Structure 1
């Protein structure tokens, strides 16, 4: 029966010329799928299918069955496929989304428990029992899924689940053998992929085959490489196997697992794959002995990359180069056991014997080294390799034992001692490099670095240590690194490095240390002297007043040196930022402005101060505004000038005030005064304030004998005309600025006591009117 079925399959495959796989969910029973297609071996016995679960698609399709990939690029020619959707959706091209569901299609608790997951649905299951005459069985498979989505972060988070669960009959605990090789990691979308940019890194990428475009023979977005599931068994004991795949949490985005026909076979363990991706590849010229020995073995065939190694017929084979190695072991009962292993090689690191030069504090040939300073020379700055440690002997370095305890502060025991560096790459491959420790005796000639004392004359100054670098450039290697330290110990330890701009911590003089390294080698440690130079001490900035009305008289500005003779220094005077020709300790000036004096010691240190000369001047009276002829006469003085002014009026005792307006001024002739507060002088001016007496008493007592207007004189109001009338409007008399006033008579006759009226007309046409009383 088995041969008839296989012949039928062969005839069917010969008619398939397309590029996509073909599937069949109807022809083969589950027993045939397992016994005749997956196993197809007399060396695995008592095969009995015990349970089958799949989706119900109205009896027209299944979620499991047979596939034929003859003539396609699919890695298996035929076999068994389990899916979380319709089998009819499995063939390519990958042009549609396989996204099936079916009623009452539940998940599987054994799968969930084995993978520590939950909430599976749409589980497709094939369970069977078997016995084996060998101690190990294996089969080949690959996993494909729509949940592989190139460039989509969902690939990092979501995956359907599958497992190949096995247990001895009579036991309840399953073991899952669908694992990433050499790990306990279940194979699924999230554990085998090449990475999603900006979402997740590649994981187990060696076992990922491809992101699938449209022109592939299956209808899934991505797939793994061909993997091998292996189980250790006890010969002739019955085991139960559960092949199961299920959707996780929801039915969306189907997955499938493909089993290669005839691949369930006896197996021999040749050890874990030695891969670059898992960092256990072989190194350099390293060899590996593969051992296929087992009980009841008869003969051995070895293959490399599918080509038989004709002369290799022993149970062991020594690997010397990369490749995929297979072995076929014929047992006494003519059954064949198969084993395979993938070997990759990593290059040993390329290292360079080097010299590390350090400075010697007491020149006795013994000093301290930071051995890692030589790392760049030993590795040639190759970031793909790294120093493991340093050792006193080559044998210790080879054995990776007795590493130097403190390689960053190592004291040599003899001059020109050699230590050994072990250098590894990420694959664990290593090489040993020799490092010779030498002493530098270079002493540099460093001139004393001088700086001027600061604003506070206290012996502290700011030094630009870059000037030291400039001074020693011709004494050190090109490109050397120069650093500065306050103590020699700091220089040796390379701690507490000083900045290029440094202020001394010891007044007046201080010693610092200059360390020069070249390619991480100590070229020299030499002391350097810092000297703080005296700087002239000057008076504080000052302000002065220059009276413009005193021009061309001068005032004297002084350099302002304190605690020393002015003749000990050089002087430079600037006016408003422009250098002048004055170079003396004083400056005679008659021009306002900002004067800066720079006082320089013969040692070159300078101080400066600013003398601001502000202009001032006597006032110019532009106008005097008089409100007169009222009960509250006022005088307002308007002036111009560069000064600050105050004002006074003679009637108030010549007391100056800030206000330029005077109130309640009595009529008459007055003097106003304006003076400059900056001392540039004062100006005065006589003014007239008109006033009209309310009465007069021409009774011979020489008091108020005549009525006359106040504030008129020969100098003021020459054009005034005053007419006096009696109560009936009769003109009595007429006065001007020269008149002595009215004596109360008319044509020599005294007039009676009464009220009289006046009209006073000024030359500018302004008039005043009013009345007064004549009292006898």
Structure 2
């Protein structure tokens, strides 16, 4: 009241009384104003501290995740950032609750609302909502062999052959996926039965995400034709019974129309009377050049069909031509051979008996006929008065083979060369076990390999094989003649 000097009040604060929450309190402030003369006035003031301001924070408004990502991974959904409170430096932590999911456009897609809440020490609350979208944009994965090679008769639709799809996997869901395929146009291969084409495999998940892979399927033909006909690949026959060449049928795994069959035959026949082999070979080749070779080996027992001619000549009868003694129709391209080297046979088959001593001369003429030999044996006896010379064992000719098969050769077991000697021929035939199977006195060259009545079975012919003879020439003074011979009844 006495001065215009500006006065300045001062204050002191009393001890704070805690409030209802951590950020609230109250205290008494005492104000004092003193004038120039020390007159003092005091007043008290109650100051209440309150916290009514909510904290603040930031969260992404919208988050889109792939269906295989963890929606609870806050590094993916966007963690709360910029948390702040006006009254405290204490770190605040937001919490969230998720609403009911709304289905999306496909099975693996959806969306839901996530509500974030941040509360300060005095219960002031801030909330924010966040939309989380779950999507499926990742295609499934699978494995299929890149290249498959099949034989032409295998089923290209058999997935156990072409390589089924494996390792099917989708990032969303445990649903079993099944791949489908389409085949492209085939490209012809190197031959008729070969080709290749592209198979495109497709795998689609529940949301239409698609993965494709291509596979090259090669069709090849590496299998040779197989023999259908029955064929005896190895057997033995007499040369006069060689069977005709059979016509063989083959089949192929891919195509029977294009099989080509070629035939080739070789033999070891030398014309010397020895046994030989005929090798028949068929080669069946399919459209792709695959070949099967079938061999048939025929072991041939050589026969020599002998025609015996015995002639008497006086030394003065003139030139003898051996071709005159051949049967009609005999091949004349052969050569006469004399068993006596003293006889000179001319190229036309003639010789002059005047150059020879008296006695018996034997000439042979052998030709080949379909693998068998045909021999004409001419015995010429030279004398000076046409007197018949005495017979010897060398002049007796006995069969080496009997083949009663209906042709004109070797139908009977024969003992020739006795007609001019007045011998009586007795014959005994034995099998390899020593048993007599035929016996005849005064034999007339009329046994054709008939089986005895005691033989087993219904066949009237003896089986093929080697047998043995004993020929006794009664009234000859000669020892019995023995030896083997062959019977072929087939």
* Class of the TM-score when normalised by the shorter of the 2 chains: under 0.3
Structure with the larger helix share: 1
Q: Which has the larger radius of gyration?
A: 2
- The two structures have a TM-score, normalised by structure 1, of 0.20
- The two structures have a TM-score, normalised by structure 2, of 0.28
